[in-house]
């Protein structure tokens, strides 16, 4: 950040967008080539081998179903608790239900350290295995720590680089915002998404590697490589750099224009905000935490807690043996979705400006009533056997063989520390300008500039949409 | 709002700030003079005479203490409910308590209609009596309606002008944002603060009157004249017009510069956001709704529910006879604070730019953990007999005989539909640039531009600070 000459007053750093754009354009870095990074990730995957086994709940150590409530919780009362939630909602055809939910009231830190190396900003990324990952280590933020982690509840090692995110100095914070996570699985969870820039030398541990935004964007398009926590933090990078990346073809030109507030959009900023307010005020959602014992439509066996029709997700338990973690081995519960999800953002060009069709989505674990979600976000298996009119809007369109120009298509995983094999197919699909969106009041076409502005604040853009914003920025 | 020539894309109306500035500069309007407005208000006060009497709880009609919970609620289950809240907080010296709180989950509408008359934007204001007001009718928004009001739960008259706020058209919304109210008295209450501009003719009822922003600002500086709902909506007007109002003296020049993002501030926007995030993440506040019967430190008599030391507030009941309301007479409970509050914003000039000292304040009814509050916000009577180190920061400074240059000093009331004689002395006091703020982590100096930007979003700026932002804008 810059200080006005001869004054104590400070204004934003106007070189930032250009520097981030340079990083986003740089795939051949002299620090580490893409081949170097792939080879480092493969080494760390081998080095952090996790042996993960499904176990019955009776095999959990230090976790128990609490007397009375039936909640599944840790003996320390830290980490998280799986309890029950009763939901009344006017949003979908089911108006009232109960379900298990993860209650983790602590605010964790997801932080990426950035440093100029050879004149190009590089991110210090971590290879980190999580028990729920399908493939061991994925590329993670520099710091990914719950409060219990960094207050050392399980008496393991300290969290490397944490001090950069706890002792902030003038001008070195590029982003610092609380963001929600999956509102269907987490009760009002939030993490502090941080990006901090440093000047001086930084020692790089074995599990860490410098890479440019451009390199991260290449890896983001590969299946199950860049983890959810990295994606949400990348989405919180101050927007604008996409607009400084130059023009390659009509679609990219429309993407660049979409970041330029002077070009405008189908809605002004005030209208977009008014639409969000109207959706937040429109939907009536009330929730009440319950004991896990009070959840009605779910059944508990020795191994799983599942919905009576085996829809949605299951609560299950694993035993983990690992060599590179805060502790050497542990058991824990995880949430296992019943199938691979489909998460798609429809985009279209209007007068040369790219617009994305977002949905105002109700999830019971949100702190507000709605957050903005991708056009489609569901687990198709949940709708097996249901008539088409009960399918989520646009799902059938996205699942057609040729739904439009596909700009992004990769399978990415959700947080492997809480979710077991939670895989989603993420897609960005361009539709014709006259795409029939049906004028549905819960859907709206917004520009990337509008989404960027919302991402500086909490509780507007949900975690799945944040992944797709990061993917949009990474298109080349 | 404007449309780019020959395009469907739309950009913000860049004439808006200038038009609002013109309205703010206009005190002598040809439509209604200040004298006309005062005379209209006096007439409406006489015409809307409310006969308000304290009654014992047993005198309430259609309200009862619910069996079991003990909650005080309406027979229809609408309007609001006074129930209990348990609070665990690390914010002040008392770490745990229970208290009564108003639970009103419905989102109401507070809306001001604006129209150009003779080239100057005028606001359609209402004279509206509320049973808790010290002086009957005050100047209120065009529409001030709970959802129960406008869905006609009490089968009264319809709400005039409501349709302008329910049927929004392209380009006529100037502000539309959900804002909190008193977090010490309301549980997660929010109202939709709206400003809508119309083109065509509007019929003006007896209780309504067109006035400019400049006229509203003059009246705002008079005791108990402009009600809380008007003040919060005015604060949500898009910022920027203060900067177009020209320069009258060094203080006003610093105020104008404070609205200019190019001038900068002691903190950049990113730093200000990071500070807010750090305060939200720092404080640990947990609340739990209870039955009113479960509130421990409070005593119920035939007439009041009060704290065992008679601090904070009392729950009481009134009977109202009125001729100009949705219904002709009614009884209802109200909250009565134990004394007149002191609410003060310290401001200082730094390099010619005005900064305001805001505090990150925990109140148990906020949806998040903190909101930004004025420098001082308390009822001094609550601290009677307590040693100075337990007084709120800066209270003793504000209460000194000569605390600095006082730019605003008026007694204003809080919402008279819920609060009985809730009067606060609002002050804006200029301190020297070297004012010793003690480097307290919960306090920060922000520019008016930074506050304006936050006011486009929910849950950043509390209702007391919104009043003082409206007052700052109205200084002349």
**Digit-coded pLDDT (tens) for A225-252:** 999 999 999 999 998 888 877 667 899 9
Q: Do B168 and A278 touch (CB under 8 A)?
A: yes
β A72-74/A143-145 pair status: unpaired
Question: CA angle B463-B464-B470, nearest 5°?
Answer: 90
Q: Residues B343, B346, B351, CA angle at the centre, nearest 5°?
A: 160
- Does B192 lie in the same domain as B280? no
Chain A partners within 8 Å of B277 (Cβ): 176-178, 192
Say if residues B53 and B334 touch (Cβ distance below 8 Å).
Answer: no
Asked if the structure places residue A69 within a domain, the reply is no
Q: What is the pLDDT of residue B460?
A: 98
What chain B residue is nearest to A2 in terms of C-alpha separation? B268
Retrieve residue A246's tokens: 């130059």
Q: Could you say which of A192, A226, A243 is where a domain stops?
A: A243
A45/A207 Cα distance (integer angstroms): 10
Taking an 8 Å cut-off on Cβ atoms, the answer to whether A277 and B11 are in contact is no
Considering only the beta carbons, identify the residue of A12, A13, A277 that sits closest to B192.
A277
Query: In the prediction, which pLDDT does A92 show?
Result: 74
A26: Cβ contacts below 8 Å, ≥ 6 apart:
A120, A212, A213, A214, A215
For residue B317, what are the CA distances in angstroms to B52, B301, B390, B413? Answer: 10, 12, 32, 18
Task: Check CB contact under 8 Å for B107 and A9.
Answer: no
B257 domain-assigned: yes
Q: What digits encode the pLDDT tens for the residues A112-134?
A: 999 999 999 999 999 999 999 99
Task: Say whether pLDDT at B74 is over 60.
Answer: yes
- Give the per-residue pLDDT at A1: 42
Instruction: Report CB contact under 8 Å: A9, B266.
Output: yes
Residues A370 and A233 in one domain: no
Contacts of residue A85, defined as CB under 8 A and 6 or more positions apart, other chains included, come to A98, A99, A100, A101, A187, A287, A288, A289, A290, A295, A364, A365
- Do A209 and A281 share a domain, yes or no? no
Q: Residue B401 pLDDT more than 90?
A: no
Give me the pLDDT at residue A260, please. 93
Domain boundary among A191, A216, A243: A243
Q: How many CB pairs under 8 A join A and B?
A: 123
Give the Å distances, CA to CA, from B99 to A368, B155, B313.
24, 33, 10
Domain check: are B275 and B182 in the same one? Answer: no
Same domain, B237 and B255: no
Q: Please tell me which of A449-458, B165-174, B387-396 the model is most confident about, judged by mean pLDDT.
A: A449-458
Mean pLDDT, rounded, for B318-326:
77
Closest Cβ opposite residue B11 in set A262, A273, A274: A262
Percentage of residues in chain B having pLDDT higher than 70: 95
Q: A351: distance to nearest CA of chain B, Å? A: 7
Clarify whether residues A115 and A168 are in a common domain: yes
Q: How far apart are CA A358 and CA A372, in angstroms?
A: 6
Question: Where does residue A331 rank: exposed (0-12), middle (13-18), buried (19+ CB within 10 A)?
Answer: middle
**How would residue A438 be classed by pLDDT, with cut points 50, 70 and 90?**
confident
d(CA A139, CA A141): 7
Q: pLDDT tier at A402 (50, 70, 90 boundaries)?
A: confident
C-alpha to C-alpha distance for B322 and B128, rounded to whole angstroms? 11
- Structural contact between residues A281 and A305, judged by C-beta atoms closer than 8 angstroms: no
Statement to judge: residues A409 and A260 lie in one domain = yes
In a domain, A68, yes or no: no
Q: Is A351 close to B7, i.e. CB distance below 8 A? A: yes
In a domain, A316, yes or no: no
> Do A344 and A456 belong to one domain?
yes
The predicted structure's pLDDT at residue B152: 61
Nearest 5°: the CA angle A341, A342, A346 is 155
Q: What are the DSSP calls for A399-459, one per residue?
A: HSS--SEEEEEEEEE--TTTBSS-EEEEEEEE--TT---TT-TTEEEEEHHHHHHHTTSTT
Interface with chain B: mutation pick from A146, A259, A280, A281, highest number of B CBs within 10 Å: A281
Question: Which chain A residues contact residue B270 at CB under 8 A?
Answer: 1, 12, 173-176, 238
Higher model confidence: residue B184 or residue B324? B184
R_g (Cα) of chain B, nearest Å: 22
Sign (positive or negative) of CA dihedral A140, A145, A149, A151: positive
Of the residues B243, B272, B294, the one at which a domain ends: B243
The model's confidence at residue A164, banded by pLDDT at 50, 70 and 90, is very high
Residue B175 shares a structural domain with residue B251: no
pLDDT at residue B154 greater than cutoff 80: no
pLDDT (tens digit per residue) in B437-468? 888 999 999 999 999 999 999 999 999 999 99
Q: What is the mean pLDDT of chain A?
A: 93
Of A320-324, B135-139, B354-358, give the lowest mean pLDDT range: A320-324
Is B427 inside a domain boundary? yes
Nearest CA in chain A to B176: A274
Q: How sure is the predictor about B1, in pLDDT bands with cuts at 50, 70 and 90?
A: very low
- Please report residues of A whose CB lies closer than 8 A to that of B458: 368
- Together in a domain, B141 and B239: yes
- Shared domain check, A375 and A229: no
Q: Where does the pLDDT of residue B12 fall: very low under 50, low under 70, confident under 90, or very high at 90 and above?
A: confident
Give a yes or no: residue B391 inside a domain.
yes
Q: Are residues B425 and B343 in contact, defined by beta-carbon separation less than 8 angstroms? A: yes
3-state SS assignment for residue A92: coil
Tell me the average pLDDT across B55-72: 97
Residue A9 clears pLDDT 70, i.e. is over it: yes
Closest CA to A60 of A315, A260, A261: A315
Give the pairing of strands A120-129 and A108-117: antiparallel
C-alpha span between B304 and B281 (Å, rounded):
37
Question: DSSP states of B280-345 as a string?
Answer: HHH--EEEEEE-GGG--SEEE-SS-EEETT--SEEEEEEEEE-SSSSSSEEEEEEEEESS-EEEEE
pLDDT tens per residue across span B250-309: 999 999 999 999 999 999 999 999 999 999 999 889 999 999 999 999 999 999 999 999
Q: Is residue A67 part of a domain?
A: no
Query: Cβ(A153)–Cβ(A192) under 8 Å?
Result: no
Residues of B in Cβ contact (< 8 Å) with A353: 9
Average the pLDDT over each of A145-149, A438-442, B163-167 and give the range with the smallest value: A145-149
Give the number of domains in chain A: 2
Same domain, B270 and B136: no
CB contact under 8 A, A168 and B278: yes
Phi, psi of A284 (to 5 degrees): -110, 110
Residue of A nearest to B285 (CA): A105
For the domain that residue A445 is a member of, what is the CATH number? 3.90.79.40
Count the Cβ atoms, other than its own, within 10 Å of residue B120: 19
Strand segments (E) across A267-328: 285-290, 298-300, 305-307, 313-321
Among A395-404, B121-130, B408-417, whose mean pLDDT is lowest?
A395-404
Per the domain annotation, does A408 fall within a domain? yes
Residue of B nearest to A257 (CA): B9
Residue from B56, B55, B147 nearest B107 by CA: B147
Single pTM value for the model: 0.96
Q: Which domain holds residue A410?
A: 247-286+338-473
Chain B positions touching A367 (Cβ under 8 A) are: 367-368
Set of chain A residues whose Cβ sits within 8 Å of the Cβ of B266: 8-10
């Amino acid at each position: 950040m810059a200080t006005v000459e001869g004054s104590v007053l400070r204004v934003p750093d106007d070189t930032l967008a250009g520097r981030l754009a340079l990083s986003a354009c740089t795939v051949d870095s002299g620090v580490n080539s893409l081949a170097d990074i792939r080879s480092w990730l493969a080494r760390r995957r081998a080095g952090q081998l996790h042996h993960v086994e499904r176990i019955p709940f009776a095999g959990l150590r230090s976790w128990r179903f609490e007397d009375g409530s039936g909640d599944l919780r840790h003996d320390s009362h830290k980490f998280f608790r799986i309890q029950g939630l009763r939901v009344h909602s006017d949003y979908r055809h089911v108006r009232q239900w109960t379900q298990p939910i993860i209650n983790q009231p602590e605010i964790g830190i997801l932080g990426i350290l950035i440093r100029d190396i050879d004149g190009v900003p590089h991110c210090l990324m971590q290879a980190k295995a999580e028990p729920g990952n399908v493939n061991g280590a994925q590329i993670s933020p520099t710091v990914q720590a719950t409060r219990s982690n960094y207050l050392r509840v399980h008496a393991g090692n300290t969290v490397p680089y944490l001090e950069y995110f706890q002792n902030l100095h003038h001008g070195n914070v590029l982003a610092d915002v609380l963001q929600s996570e999956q509102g269907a699985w987490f009760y009002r969870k939030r993490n502090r998404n941080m990006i901090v820039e440093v000047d001086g030398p930084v020692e790089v541990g074995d599990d860490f590697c410098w890479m440019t935004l451009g390199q991260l964007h290449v890896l983001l398009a590969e299946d199950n490589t860049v983890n959810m926590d990295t994606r949400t933090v990348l989405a919180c990078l101050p927007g604008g750099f996409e607009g400084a990346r130059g023009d390659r073809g009509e679609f990219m030109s429309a993407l660049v224009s979409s970041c330029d507030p002077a070009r405008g959009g189908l809605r002004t900023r005030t209208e977009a905000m008014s639409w969000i307010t109207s959706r937040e005020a429109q939907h009536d959602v009330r929730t009440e935490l319950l004991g896990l014992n009070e959840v009605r439509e779910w059944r508990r066996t020795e191994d799983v807690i599942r919905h009576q029709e085996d829809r949605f997700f299951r609560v299950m338990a694993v035993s983990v043996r690992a060599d590179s973690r805060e502790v050497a081995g542990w058991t824990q519960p995880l949430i296992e979705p019943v199938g691979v999800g489909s998460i798609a953002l429809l985009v279209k060009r209007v007068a040369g400006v790219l617009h994305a069709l977002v949905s105002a989505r109700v999830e019971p674990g949100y702190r507000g009533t709605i957050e903005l979600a991708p056009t489609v976000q569901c687990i198709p298996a949940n709708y097996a056997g249901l008539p088409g009119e009960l399918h989520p809007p646009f799902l059938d369109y996205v699942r057609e063989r040729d739904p439009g120009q596909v700009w992004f298509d990769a399978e990415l995983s959700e947080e492997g520390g809480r979710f077991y094999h939670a895989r989603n197919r993420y897609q960005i699909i361009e539709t014709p300008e006259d795409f029939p969106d049906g004028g549905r009041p819960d859907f709206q076409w917004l520009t990337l500039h509008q989404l960027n502005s919302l991402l500086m604040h909490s509780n507007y853009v949900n975690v799945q949409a944040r992944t797709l914003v990061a993917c949009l920025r990474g298109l080349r």
